[in-house]
Amino acid sequence: MDRDPRVAPDARAAMVARLRRNGLTDPRVLEAMRAVPRERFIPEKYADMAYADRPVPIGSGQTISAPDIVALTATALALTGRESVLEVGGGSGYAAAVLAQCASRVITIERRAHLAERARAVLGDLGYDNVEVRHADGMAGAPDAAPFGAIAVAAMADDVPAPLFAQLTPHGVLVCPVGRRDAGELVRFADGRRRRLSSVRFVPLVGGTDR
């Protein structure tokens, strides 16, 4: 795959170096961030912003999360490479690609059909055959494929939907932004404990599906 000429040749390496400076040291996550071409998951007109520490619009009022948040979430899941992972709010598919580098398989759920279709196409083109993209209501999870060793939610929830907790393995980890409207905290849930990771802004978690 040829490099996109609109992306600086050292942009991805600079992003990984920034993650290290910010204290993210999980080698599996850093290697995933180094491997995944983020520019493939965003509209071409934003390619020059692919590795900046900021979210980027992907259409329909949705964004691809800032790479630092994607890396923080993946690190908090503490993946070993053996897990089955559920992602709620698949969006562009970028975070699913990062998770797929760190886990055995990923099911990512996106409620908007055209975003799910595009994510499926890009992930397929890049060879991520361990990622399944579903157009469905993410608040219901994927009970047919449960249990999951890790669940990542990429939208702001007032409260984490109960079906997601029910689909975790006994010692599984769930990471979700929790708050009101679009602002709140990224929270890690594991073994009955709740730990705040960072202040964040996400689009709200919404049920149902949309064309």
- Per-residue pLDDT band for 3 (boundaries 50, 70, 90) equals low
pLDDT per residue as tens digits for the range 60-76 = 888 999 999 999 999 99
Q: Tell whether the torsion through CA atoms of 131, 83, 33 and 53 is positive or negative.
A: positive
- Burial, 52: exposed, middle or buried (Cβ in 10 Å; 0-12, 13-18, 19+)? middle
Residue 7 pLDDT more than 90? Answer: no
Residue 6 pLDDT more than 90? Answer: no
Average pLDDT over residues 1-20: 78
Distance (Å, whole) CA 189 – CA 192: 7
198 is an active site residue: no
All structural domains of the chain: 11-201 (3.40.50.150)
pLDDT per residue as tens digits for the range 85-139 = 999 999 999 999 999 999 999 999 999 999 999 999 999 999 999 999 999 999 9
- Per-residue pLDDT band for 183 (boundaries 50, 70, 90) equals confident
Helix (H) or strand (E) holding 21: helix 11-21
Helix count and strand count (H, E) for the chain: 6, 9
Q: Which of 60, 65, 92, 104 is catalytic?
A: 65
Alpha-carbon distances of 171 from 98, 140, 202, rounded to whole Å: 22, 20, 26
**What does the buried/exposed string (b/e) look like for 13-33 if buried means 16 or more CB atoms within 10 Å of the residue's CB?**
eebbebbeeeebebebbbebb
- Per-residue pLDDT band for 1 (boundaries 50, 70, 90) equals very low
In order, the DSSP letters of 130-196 are TEEEEES-GGG--GGG--EEEEEE-SBBSS--HHHHHTEEEEEEEEEEEEETTEEEEEEEETTEEEE
